[in-house]
Structure 1
Amino acid sequence: MANTINKVCVIGAGTMGAGIAAQVANAGVPVLLLDIVPKEGDNRNAIAEGAVAKMLKTQPAPFMSKRAAKLVETGNIEDHLDKVAECDWVVEAIIERLDIKQSLYEKLEAVRKPGTAVSSNTSTIPLAQLTDGRSDQFKQDFLITHFFNPPRYMRLIEIVAGPDSNADTVAMVSEFVDRKLGKSVVDAEDSPGFIANRVGTFWIQQAVNAAFEQGVTVEEADEIGGRPMGVPKTGIFGLIDLIGIDLMPHLMKSLTSTLPKDDPYQAIARSEPLIETMIEEGYTGRKGKGGFYRINREGGGKVKEAKNLQTGEYAPARGSRLVRGSAAKGDLGKLISQEGKVGEYAWAVLGPTLSYAAMIVPEATKTIVGVDDAMKLGYNWKFGPFEMIDNIGVATLVERLEADGLPVPEMLKVADGRPFYRVEGGKRQYLGTDGGYHDIVRPEGVLKLEDIKLSSEPLLANSSAALWDVGDGVVALEFTGKMNALDEQVMKLIKKAVPLVQKNYKALVVYNEGSNFSAGANLGLAMFALNIAAWSEVEKLVKGGQDAYKALKYAPFPVVSAPFGMALGGGCEICLNSDAIQAHAETYIGLVETGVGIIPGWGGCGEMLSRWINNPKYPKGPMPAVSKVFEIVSTATVAKSAAEAKEYGFLRHDDGVTMNRDRLLFDAKQRALAMVDGYAAPEKPEYRLPGPSGAAALQLAVDSFHKQGKATDHDVTVAGELARVLTGGDTDPTEITTEADLLKLEVEGFMRLCRNPKSQARVEHMLETGKPLRN
């Protein structure tokens, strides 16, 4: 048996198979993508080749970088199945028909190496049926690996091992999908629908049924069943539109045909005539002519409309504002007890769904943690079903279930009024099926700040940041403000942190566990200062940020930033000022200041220049690097992945990339520790920049875009200030421009733009709408 996976074969180049192949390539691992020979045309590899070509144009992009596509080798099952012998893992992602899958497995037996892992991406067919009639060796090497769509972005993978599956093979695949593909593995039992789709399908069906029965509108259902429950803002009907209304009958048919007749899902599985009509007429959701929502573009307009569930007609969407007080902020007890349709609908959705989720333990997965992780990772719920039950209260839920004559599952009886989760001795514990509490154990190489907080206090803290001891002489700087926005408080804490770390610790990691690393500077505070013309306060904030970031850069210890999600503006600049970056693969990083009418002010300009000037593959001389940085920053370019960030220079070539978000802090900490011995702070850079002649050349390019209508009047003004900074102001290539000179130019340009009413309008518009103003 192979100990590692060096090459993968994916059979089936549909949406899922192709997406899985792309994610393997994103991990830097060669992948063979096979499909059937098309019935028409001379190109026998057309289906697999077409899938790759389509993915290169798809948004959101399945590939993290176009370069990754080069690792995908395409072929067809008839001519190239023998190449399976080169692979250590074969993923089958073909049509959900048992006979076709079994036919493929028979062919695979003849060509694969013994010990090569074989898995199915099925979401419906039990493992025992898939391997029926296969050899003992095949059964040992077989498992189910159920990815979620789209494979690049959805973190959940449900892994099902059969009674004959080789434990080492399962461990090898689990390790690969965790570390290389960035997935969170949830071990599932060989039961219909596994975990997430079983609970998720029940939840959606119950929510749809209740909306029709109670006369709740589409918008009301999505408000009540959305954010107050910790469900993404799509809510119920918006989610169905997203995944495709026509998929729902297939899911229903699959589950009703495989679940026991006495399963509670059987009693609620039904279709509505209105939904059947919508599918027949092509109203299948976002991919069709519309769904429960649509955009009406008649007469050149753009009006969002919602479907009336009673009449079937569309009417302008007006939004719903029914949920009040703490219920709107996640207090589920208050939500289900609110009088009127809010409480009635919330209970009609939550009561049966939470009861059902409790019922499938241990049938679908051995622990409640498996159910909660599956729903949070697979459906993007903020809280898992058992966390929701704790929110309501176990006793309260049981009382309501009994009052309504709904089943009270064994797990709720085992709890006997106790919470499903608790913290004991600084450890988070879950309630097992045995009635005892057990520590939640993280996999090796996973370090979570949320765990550290259970048993320690911050070394330093204020309203916007905190400093934590994460062990082995390393501290973590955490942003804590809304959207992890950066303000004066963050800068003050950084200045206090440097001497503390220097005295007592070895290294510092910039890290947090929010939804995004940082959205940049706190624009709300900046706008307040602009409105009252507090120019000295604005300048103080800019200089304070520069001082703090440079204090980190030149600290006598290693500083490693660990970005993920959005790392924009000032969030990008703190990364640029770090000794190294350990980025999550899904990092969307960039200097976006020009979009709000300003320029980078915390050292981003100089740091980007240094990266491109020192890029050995880029032309030398005063202008090429300046032009490249100007192009990237003036257009507010954002890298859509860590791989792309290396192409733009936001990450250096040797900066690290972590595929699994849960492993980011551990990896960043190890990176920092590896730099401690012999560490010396970097030398201050010096530049030879083109000065006014270079600025004029850049301005000519901007003027050309302006004449073509690709740049607005104010774009020209902002670009002019950026060009002055990047070209060094009043200098020329014979003179040295220092880092301090560039920082001074940044402040001057930033302040001139802040005083400009058009820049102020851009900041205000961004705050109000979240979108850039093109003035």
Structure 2
Amino acid sequence: MSGIRKVAVIGAGVMGSGIAAHVANAGVPVLLMDIVPEGATDRNGLAAAAIARMLKTEPAAFMTPRAAKRVEACNVEDHLGRLAEVDWIIEVVIERLDAKRALYRRIDAVRRPGTAVSSNTSTIPLDAVVDGMPESFRRDFLITHFFNPPRYMRLLELVTGPQTDPALAETVADFADRRLGKSVVRCKDRPGFIANRLGITWIQNAIAAADDLGVPVEEADAIMGRPFGIPKTGVFGLVDLVGLDLIPHTTASLRAALPPDDAFHDSYREMPLVSRLIAAGFTGRKGKGGFYRLNRTGGQKTKEAIDLASGAYRPARKADLPELKDAKGPRAVLDLPGRAGAYAWRVIGATLSYAAGLVGEASDDVAAIDEAMRLGYNWTWGPFELIDRIGGAYLADRLARDGRPVPPLLAGLDGRSFYRVENGRRQVLQPGGGYRDIVRPDGVLRLADIKLGREPLLTNGSAALWDIGDGVVCFEFTSQSNALDEQVMVLLGKTIKLVKDRYKALVVYNEGTNFSVGANLGLALFAANIAAWGEIEKLVHLGQQTYRQLKYAPFPVVSAPSGMALGGGCEILLHSDAVQAHAESYIGLVECGVGLAPAWGGCTEMLGRWQASGTLPKGPMPAVARVFETVSTATVAKSAEEARDLLFLRPDDGITMNRDRLLADAKARALSLVAGYAPPKPVPLTLPGSAGGLALRMAAEGFARRGIATKHDLVVSGELASVLSGGEADILDTLDEDAILELERDSFMRLVRTEATLDRFESVLETGRPVRN
């Protein structure tokens, strides 16, 4: 099998259609099939409706609407023969053995030999699903368990059988890795595999313990969330997110499949409350609510939480647990007196104990189990990384004191940790006792690995510079949320001088959740409150000059964003020679939302890009209008592909699907630019002047009359209009970068002095959103 060029997905439900959408995101055509409902006028109606639904889904299933055109609606009655066209068939039908086996017999009759066939089952072992199928089918069969939503969840659990062709399994794994952006974790053929077997155990323990100990759902989520590196949804919020109705279904499958002596059964509890909620349509966020809901009575939106004892909703309240703030680390939380510590220990003790028992059962690899939980449930630390933080001896001793079995893996630690760093390499403990190096797949380069046992070339409180080999260095933001401040600019200036003298190229990259959320608003608000206007203007000017130095440096600069790249984070991309973006990059100039206009060259660069794009009518006004529309509305691209449409990325900028491959791809792109490199030449801009600015302000006033723009929006958009149109310039004048940067700087300083802009700063810092004033 030479590669995967076309895919079929059978089953157009939420999961199947999501998988089809993500295959289409990878640029691969997909046949999406489902049954023909009785009496249907459109025989492809179920698949067609699924495609239409995904175009409206939030968060978006497609990276751009164009991707939907790669998904073809089909049905299994008329089009099953078309499976001969594809290289991979993914079954995503009901979790019933009889239904799956009947479908496999039909698939086997029409597919080409060597075509991969996989099931997305989350609980049924492979051996059971292919029982009775011919050897030729079993050779081409495997389980590929995606997590929902398939576009965003990076984990793919892969299970092969004793007869599965290893080369075919490798082809599927490589496609899932490079094209779909998945971290492929190989699991043993056991019920629930890794992530759901452990994750459902954790959820059951957490719900039962909250019920037994009288812990309100808000407190349970606060305890079970950030202190243990678990998303702030905690457990009850997570169940609402994935759907209450999925939990009993998965639990029932695991109860039926796991042997009676498995510790999973110890965590099981009949939950009549959950059954009542599901029966009444309270299935979580996709339904009328779940453990939490929004009560819209009387036109108001009031967040409510359920009382586990009575089953009645009450107003949600913030967890009153000041002791959590003082607890330093997960072990300190386990030692807290009262019900907070008791709840934490009851859940985490049982979950980590169960995880230790899965080594050799679900997987022989401790690191694989950790990877599955980090990516499948968004834990910051996998269970064994968490054990290292808590202390293996502490965990074993406390389990023993409670009279609970101590898994042999924990009992045999003998003071060792599961992970260690030796000779600059991270190693993991093997079940047999020795350590092995953690080896990354070819093409994977992690900054965290590079930093082990090394010192940065340059560093300060907000950034660091690392040598990543082959004459390339990596500039890393290290401030909170990777916000940009004076220290970032100072170190970037020093970096430019160092690279010029000693290195070939520079990559701007980090492994935070977000590339950068923009300038540090807290520092700006503090400076404004003490009227330090000179300091604010100094930082604006420093940012402008530093980014210009970056743009015209005598060596290639490649930025590699992932997550949010907003405001100043976007502007550093605009000043780079090339961008290698993770597919899930959300890029935009959002300054207008907080009451400012972009001032680190964002306006200047976007004007230049749109005027040079060749996609707009001739004349100065079309590019100005397009940039005004994008920037005044604080538009953020919802994917790297969409960022190309908005020209935050150029057409030839690269997109990497797998986050773990981003740094290696960016480094390769930087090296490809070294030979014969010459910095870009400044391009003067012809702008429409005051008449153009007036036209833009009139358009903004029209939005205000329709109730879309607020009073301060008009002030901000008026300043933006002045910058983009060239201020008082004549329509025949050309302006160089210095002139437009001066307009940006003056506009910024006028806006930052307004009370309404400072109110927006304060609102963002307190609530995460600007006030609409």
Bin for the TM-score computed over the shorter chain: over 0.9
- Quote the offset at 1:336 in angstroms: 1.2
Q: Which residue of 2 aligns with 1:108?
A: 107
Three-state SS of the structure 2 residue aligned to 1:106 is: helix
Q: Distance in 2 between matches of 1:220 and 1:89?
A: 46
Preserved contact between residue 225 and residue 235 of structure 1 (Cα < 8 Å) = yes
CA distance in 2, matches of 1:525, 1:250: 50
What pairs up with 1:130-149 in 2 under 5 angstroms? 130-149=129-148
Q: What is aligned with 1:217?
A: 216
CA distance in 2, matches of 1:7, 1:170: 16
Q: Which residue of 1 aligns with 2:348?
A: 350
Partner of 1:85: 84
Q: Is the 8 A contact 1:323 1:342 kept in 2?
A: no
Structure 1 runs not aligned, ≥5 long: none
Equivalent position of 2:477 in the other structure? 479
- 1:160 offset after TM fit, Å? 0.2
The structure 1 residue matched to 2:750, chosen from 749, 752, 756, is 752
- Secondary structure of the 1:288 match is coil
For 1:197, the equivalent position in structure 2 comes to 196
Question: What is the rounded CA distance, in whole Å, between the counterparts of 1:596 and 1:268 in structure 2?
Answer: 48
Superposed displacement of residue 280, structure 1: 2.5
Q: How many angstroms apart in 1 are the aligned matches of 2:267 and 2:465?
A: 51
Q: Which residue of 1 aligns with 2:405?
A: 407
1:197-221 Cα offsets, whole Å, 9 max, x none, are: 0001111111111111112221221
CA distance in 2, matches of 1:481, 1:698: 37
Partner of 1:57: 56
CA offsets 1:83-119 (integer angstroms, 9 cap, x no match)? 1111111111111111111111111112111111111
Check whether the contact 1:414–1:433 (CA below 8 A) recurs between aligned residues: no
2:652 partner amino acid? D
CA root-mean-square deviation: 1.2
Distance (Å, rounded) in 2 between the aligned partners of 1:11 and 1:564: 32
Other-structure match for 1:617: 615
SS across alignment from 2:17? helix
* Alignment partner, residue 531 of structure 1: 529
> In the alignment, what sits opposite 1:466?
464
- 2:618 maps to a residue whose letter is K
Distance 1:380 1:111, change over 3 A: same
1:558-604 residue CA offsets vs partner (Å, 9 max, x unmatched): 00010110100000000000000000000011000001111000000
Task: Tell me: CA distance 1:326–1:368, structure 2 relative to 1, closer, same or farther (3 Å).
Answer: farther
Query: Which secondary structure does the structure 2 equivalent of 1:290 belong to?
Result: coil
TM-score by length of 2: 0.99
Aligned partner letter, 2:689? G
Q: How does 1:145-544 map to 2 (within 5 A)?
A: 145-322=144-321, 324=323, 328-329=327-328, 331-544=329-542
Aligned amino acid, residue 138 of structure 2: K
In the alignment, is the contact (CA less than 8 A) between 1:588 and 1:638 conserved in 2?
A: yes
Deviation, 1:552, is: 0.5
* C-alpha distance in structure 2 between counterparts of 1:206 and 1:443, whole Å: 35
Where 1:581 maps in the other structure, the secondary structure is strand
- Report Cα offsets for 1:427-480 as digits up to 9, x if no partner: 111111111001111111011110011031111101111111011100011001
Q: Deviations along 1:704-761, whole A, 9 cap, x unmatched?
A: 1112221111111111111111111222332221011110110111111112222222
1:638-649 aligned at under 5 Å gives the runs 638-649=636-647
Amino acid at match of 1:344: A
Distance 1:288 1:516, change over 3 A: same
SS, match of residue 78 in structure 2: helix
Matches of 2:28 and 2:418, distance apart in 1: 40
Question: Secondary structure in 1 aligned to 2:544?
Answer: helix
Structure 1 stretch 470-479 or stretch 759-768: which is displaced more?
759-768
Aligned AA (2:589): L
Identify the residue that residue 569 of structure 1 maps to in structure 2: 567
| Pairwise CA distance, 1:174 | 0.4
* Aligned counterpart, 2:676: 678
CA distance in 1, matches of 2:629, 2:155: 37
Which whole-Å CA distance do the structure 2 matches of 1:698 and 1:315 have between them? 48
Contact 1:688 1:732 in 2 (8 A): no
Amino acid aligned to 2:151: R
CA distance in 1, matches of 2:92, 2:331: 42
TM-score, normalised relative to structure 1 = 0.98
Q: Which moved more, 1:750-759 or 1:504-513?
A: 750-759
Structure 1 residues 267 and 763: CA distance shift in structure 2, 3 A: closer
CA distance in 2: counterparts of 1:92 and 1:599, whole angstroms:
50
Q: Match for 2:648 among 634, 647, 650?
A: 650
- Note if contact 1:429-1:439 (Cα within 8 Å) is conserved in structure 2: yes
Is the 8 Å Cα contact of residues 92 and 118 (structure 1) preserved in structure 2? yes
Shift of 1:772: 1.6
Deviations 1:5-50, CA, capped at 9 Å, x for gaps: 1111111111111001100110111111111112132111001111
The correspondence for 2:578, drawn from 580, 590, 593, is 580
How far 1:524 sits from its partner (Å)? Answer: 0.6
CA distance in 1, matches of 2:324, 2:305: 26
> Residue 718 of structure 2 is aligned with which of 717, 720, 739?
720
Question: Which sits farther off after the overlay, 693-702 or 168-177?
Answer: 693-702
Alpha-carbon distance between aligned partners in 1 of 2:282 and 2:771, rounded to the nearest angstrom: 34
Amino acid at match of 1:687: L
The 2-side partners of 1:126 and 1:514 are apart by: 36
Gap regions ≥5 residues in structure 2: none
Distance in 2 separating the partners of 1:430 and 1:321? 39
Hey, what's the Cα distance between the residues in 2 that align with 1:270 and 1:327? Answer: 33
Q: Secondary structure at the match of 2:614?
A: coil
| Cα separation, 1, equivalents of 2:303 and 2:434 | 51
Question: Could you tell me which residue of structure 2 aligns to residue 127 of structure 1?
Answer: 126
Compute the displacement of 1:701 (Å): 0.8
8 Å CA contact 2:324, 2:333 repeated in 1 = no
Check conservation: 1:326, 1:334, Cα contact below 8 A.
no
Q: Which range moved further: 581-590 or 416-425?
A: 416-425
Output the amino acid matched with 1:381. W
Task: Give the letter aligned to residue 611 of structure 2.
Answer: I
Q: CA deviation at 1:268?
A: 2.7
**Matches of 1:192 and 1:325, distance apart in 2:** 36
CA displacement at 1:616 relative to structure 2 = 2.2
**Is 1:15 aligned with 2:14?**
yes
Identity of aligned residues (%): 61
CA contact (8 A) 1:154 1:377 kept: yes
1:637-686 Cα shifts (integer Å, max 9, x gaps): 00000011001110001100000111110000000000000000000111
Contact 2:223 2:324 in 1 (8 A): no
Q: Is the 8 A contact 1:227 1:328 kept in 2?
A: no
Deviation at 1:314, TM superposition (A): 2.1
Paired with 1:313 and 1:52, the residues of 2 have a C-alpha distance of: 38
Give the Cα–Cα distance (whole angstroms) in 1 for the partners of residues 484 and 228 of structure 2: 29
Q: Does the 8 A contact of 2:684 with 2:735 survive in 1?
A: yes
| Structure 2 letter corresponding to 1:289 | K
- C-alpha distance in 2 between matches for 1:613 and 1:397: 63
Deviation at 1:270, TM superposition (A): 2.1
Shift of 1:547: 0.5
1:534, distance to aligned residue in structure 2 (A) = 1.2
Contact kept? 2:688, 2:726, Cα under 8 Å: yes
Cα distance in 2 for partners of 1:212, 1:51 equals 38
Could you report, residue by residue, the CA deviation over 1:159-207 in whole angstroms, capped at 9, with x for unpaired residues?
Answer: 0011001111010000000010001110000000000000011111111
How many pairs are equivalent? 773
The answer on whether the counterparts of 1:415 and 1:431 sit within 8 Å (CA) in structure 2 is no
CA distances 1:294-345 after superposition (whole Å, capped 9, x unpaired)? 222223332222211122222222221325267645x122111111111111
The residue number in structure 1 matching 2:39 is 40
